Chain A
Amino acid sequence: KAGVTQTPRYLIKTRGQQVTLSCSPISGHRSVSWYQQTPGQGLQFLFEYFSETQRNKGNFPGRFSGRQFSNSRSEMNVSTLELGDSALYLCASSNGGTGGLGPLHFGNGTRLTVT
């Protein structure tokens, strides 16, 4: 079974630009979550989608948004990029059911650098 695939692996953007990151979950997984990983803060939860609906949202500004498609693939968008948005963005999929916890399966991440 193929794992979680994130594209692209690396991105370099300029302040003020916007960016879209993509995540393909493991086949059959309906939950997709996004995390921001930085050296000082560790992993911080951005949001989770389940069956095309946002089920949970973390404490990030509205510049961070996401969506999920009918095939469970997910995209994350960051608008008006700031230097502090430089981080590794991780996607995780799970086969946990409605309201349920499933083990997270992580991708290798997209490394975003904002200059």
Chain B
Amino acid sequence: GNSVTQMEGPVTLSEEAFLTINCTYTATGYPSLFWYVQYPGEGLQLLLKATKADDKGSNKGFEATYRKETTSFHLEKGSVQVSDSAVYFCALAFGNTGNQFYFGTGTSLTVIP
């Protein structure tokens, strides 16, 4: 079947620290991969995506590379800010079957000044 596994949270970092949130997936085909973010009091929103192996998605200083050989899509940021405090969700979906997304359980990040 299809599933996504994320590292357990919560994660607490100091401002300007390096962030990695691990995400691995199991899929029956060749999915597109996504990171969604939920800021406090807001709905989930797309952070970045990658549609094929070796693609790198990037946005707001965050990056993730689609690694087919390790079935991973780890989220990284070189220097986090307090405003990055949120819950991050890794997800996969297949482009030929409509909008059926498989989400991980989410990783809560708190950045302290």
Contacts and interface: CB of A to CB of B under 8 A. Distances in A.
A and B together in one complex: yes
Interface of A: 3-4, 31, 33, 35, 40-45, 48, 50, 55-56, 58, 90, 92, 94, 96, 99-109
Place the interface of chain B in its size category: 20 to 34
A43 B89 contact: yes
B103 A43 contact: yes
Interface of B: 32, 36, 42-46, 49, 89, 91, 93-106
Contact of B36 (A50, A96, A100, A104): A104
Given A42-B105, A104-B36, A56 B100 contact: yes
A100 B95 contact: yes
Determine which residue in A43, A92, A96 has the highest number of CB atoms from chain B within 10 A of its CB, and name it.
A43
Ranked nearest first, the 3 interchain pairs of A and B with the lowest CB-CB distance are A42-B105, A43-B103, A106-B43
Contacts, number: 75
Nearest to B32: A101
Determine which residue in B45, B95, B98, B104 has the highest number of CB atoms from chain A within 10 A of its CB, and name it.
B98
A3 B99 contact: no
Contact of B45 (A58, A94, A106): A106
A96 B99 contact: yes
Contact of A48 (B99, B104, B105): B99
A52 B103 CA distance: 25
A104 B100 contact: no
Given A43-B89, A103-B49, A4 B98 contact: no
Nearest to A96: B99
